[in-house]
A and B are shown apart, each in its own frame.
Chain A
Amino acid sequence: MSSSHYLLRKFAFALLTIFIVILINFVLFRVLPGDPVRAVIGRNVKISAEVQQSLREQFGLDKPVFPDQFLMTMKQWASGNLGVSWSLRRPVAEILWSKLWNTILLIGLGQILSIVFGVVLGLLAGWKRKTALDAAALTFSLIAWATPTFWLGIILLAAGSTWLGLPTGGILSPQNVGKPLHTVLPDLAAHLVLPTLTLTILYLGEYMLIMRSSIVETLSEDYILTAKAKGLSQWQILWRHALKNAMLPIVTIIALNLGFTVSGAIYIETVFSYDGLGKLFQTALTKQDYPLLQGAFLLLAVSVILANMLADILYTLLDPRVKSS
């Protein structure tokens, strides 16, 4: 199969999946009980029957659900109009956009740290296979996997705030909100320590395991034997020959894990009252703010789907063996 054909297929699959997500979103919104006009303007707004009727026509709610209403909704979503939040009374897209960067900051930091530590520890564990270090690394990842994200967050929150005097939540102390960013960096960093640490511990185990098996496999390849025969030092073999190839699986795992990362963000932002998309999702859930909930779901799902597509494409570019299979 040619590589352009392969890319095209990946692209088509991503589009199909996004379409399915949109369909799920649309259907779920329609099965909610009550007047759909209420679903658009909020439940507690008093309006006269005439206004209600004109809104009904304006939103196309007098037309059949399929295809008219569906197409209309699709057109709205495509133009970035995700409706108005019931609880916050602002456009959903605007709210999502304002929280997006906080979440990217948190997830980004957690991912970078866990990749760096995971790769280094996995490398050591695979290199010193069947030693105490290796066993400790495997045990750690097993326990990390069996631990609920939010519970680890709760423990670190309790321990960090009691013994280390770290902030118990939020993203900035109240007195620092609204000040220029460079003046509040230490405060921001103090708020980021615990949530980042929780994320790092959780993702670390996974990268470590992947790196470990990858390096173990790479070290059994013939070209490593050749390198040994050439008389290269262990360090040179590891650094110059093994690492580059062993890193390959990490690239895909990063993107494939984005769905898992999104779950982590929802739990961790809830525990640390961190003002991002995950906390927003949880708030929308408890306030039963459907436009917000659906908008957040759409944004998260589409980002994860696109990231998966990019990972596939990147992997094809990095590893020529994929194309032929």
Chain B
Amino acid sequence: METWQRLKRNLSELWQSFRRNRMGLIGLGLVLSALAVAILAPWLTPYHPQQVIRDANGRGLTFAPPSVHPPLGTDDGGHDVWAQLVYGARSSLTVGFLAGFIAMFVGSFLGILAGYFGGWLDNFLMRLTDVLLVIPDLPLMLVLVATIRQMQLKISPLTVLILVIGLLYWTSTARLVRSQVLSIKERQFVARARAIGAGHAHIIRRHILPQVLPLIVANTVLILSTAILIESGLAFLGLGDPTKPSWGTMLNFAFDRNAISNGAWWFYLPPGLAIVWVSLGCVLLGNVLEEMLNPRLSGHHLEGEARILKHGERK
């Protein structure tokens, strides 16, 4: 397993240079802290998000401002906002991460196939990504999610979101991986492996994959931020799971239930800040990783700065 040892060595070298990058460390800190909140949710609040907080007379505290208790106030139904926020991290991050991973798997798989085998397959896949790129994504997703829900299949709303986001956002990964594979497969060690009779599966597993894997990781982190933003948008438009509110669902509730006219800023500010927290963390981390790992970017400032825009157009 010499190739994997090389990968391990590459990763430890990567960490050495990553440690010195302030932006990257900030990004990593933002992402990890959000993950910690999601995992530790039950220990961070005594309340359940659907539990009504009552005053001494037993009446529900509606739109109570932040105080020592409850720390972030309550919503229109007397539910603790802080509890909703930390449990909301679970829904938001679950959808974002799973959708991001699906996009990564589909994109990497198709990118490697297209780049390695070329021919009609490559042509077809690239035209398909062209088509997906020009169809406006939000309207397409809304129509898809609405139709799937109407079909009354036994799928939870969050699963529908994960699948729709994951299966639409693989195009940029596929293009990136494809172009990388195209250049790797021309290198000598691949030609040598082929000359001594190595099969396609062997070459892809042992020579191509270890080379493109770091790049895929960096790209996935960028895709995660897109997936989290998209989830929040779809949930805001009412397509989330009301029984497992994510940050987007919280904003949907806050907006629909007049938090703005009631001046309940504690209800609509924290979920949005949480979304910015995570998506900014992923962008910082992903940009730094991609800069360090994508050989095509080094040296050419234009590509370096235009990179974020490739993802930006798909918010």
User: Which A residues fall within an 8 A CB radius of B?
Assistant: 13, 16-17, 20-21, 24-25, 28, 31-33, 141-143, 145-151, 154-155, 157-158, 161-162, 168, 206, 209-210, 212-214, 216-217, 253, 256-260, 262-263, 266-267, 270-271, 281-282, 285-286, 288, 290, 293-294, 296-297, 300-301, 304-305, 308
Contacts and interface: CB of A to CB of B under 8 A. Distances in A.
Given A146-B283, A209-B308, A31 B151 contact: yes
Contacts of A259: 134-137, 313
Contacts of B137: 259, 263
Given A33-B152, A145-B283, A270-B237, A158 B260 contact: yes
Given A162-B263, A209-B309, A216-B301, A32 B147 contact: yes
B84 interface: no
A285 B135 contact: no
A16 B131 contact: yes
Contact of B236 (A32, A148, A168): A148
Interface residues of B, number: 53
25 contacts: A24-B143, A25-B143, A32-B151, A141-B308, A146-B229, A148-B232, A148-B233, A149-B233, A150-B255, A151-B251, A151-B271, A168-B261, A209-B305, A213-B301, A213-B306, A259-B135, A259-B136, A263-B233, A270-B236, A285-B237, A290-B146, A301-B135, A304-B134, A304-B136, A308-B134
Interface in B191-205: none
A24 to B, nearest CB: 8
Interface string B277-315: 001100110000000000000000110011011001111
A155 B136 CA distance: 26
Nearest to B248: A148
Interface in B59-115: none
A148 B272 contact: yes
A168 B260 CA distance: 10
Nearest to A34: B150
B174 interface: no
B268 interface: yes
A17 B131 CA distance: 6
Nearest to B153: A33
Contact of A154 (B131, B136, B229, B251): B251
Nearest to A309: B134
Contact of A262 (B139, B261, B309, B312): B139
A16 B131 CA distance: 9
B130, B146, B150, B232: residue with the most chain A Cβ atoms closer than 10 Å: B146
A206 B139 CA distance: 21
Nearest to A259: B136
Given A206-B309, A256-B313, A304-B134, A213 B140 contact: no
B265 A158 contact: yes
A270 B238 CA distance: 11
B137 to A, nearest CB: 6
B268 A145 contact: no
A148 B312 contact: no
Which 7 residue pairs are nearest across A and B when measured between Cβ atoms? Answer: A151-B272, A263-B138, A259-B136, A146-B280, A146-B279, A213-B305, A262-B136
Q: Is the interface of B mostly helix, strand, loop or mixed?
A: helix
Nearest to A27: B147
B144 interface: yes
A214 B309 CA distance: 13
Given A206-B309, A259-B313, A267-B237, 10 more contacts: A32-B150, A142-B280, A145-B312, A149-B233, A151-B275, A154-B272, A168-B261, A259-B134, A263-B136, A300-B136
A31 B308 contact: no
B305 A28 contact: no
B167 interface: no
A33 B150 contact: yes
B225 interface: yes
A8 B306 CA distance: 29
Contacts of A297: 139-140, 142-143
B136 to A, nearest CB: 4
B143 to A, nearest CB: 5
Nearest to B283: A146
Contacts of A17: 130-131, 134-135
Interface string B142-176: 11101100111000000000000000000000000
B276 interface: yes
Contact of B315 (A24, A258, A260, A300): A260
Contacts of B276: 143, 146-148, 151
Given A149-B315, A213-B302, A285-B142, A155 B150 contact: no
A148 B275 contact: yes
Contact of B143 (A16, A267, A294): A294
Contact of A288 (B138, B150, B152, B237): B150
B138 A262 contact: yes
A25 B140 CA distance: 9
Contact of B306 (A209, A281, A288): A209
A206 B136 CA distance: 18
Contacts of B302: 213-214, 216-217
A245 to B, nearest CB: 13
Given A146-B276, A148-B275, A149-B233, A33 B136 contact: no
A305 B135 contact: yes
A313 B280 CA distance: 35
A162 B144 CA distance: 37
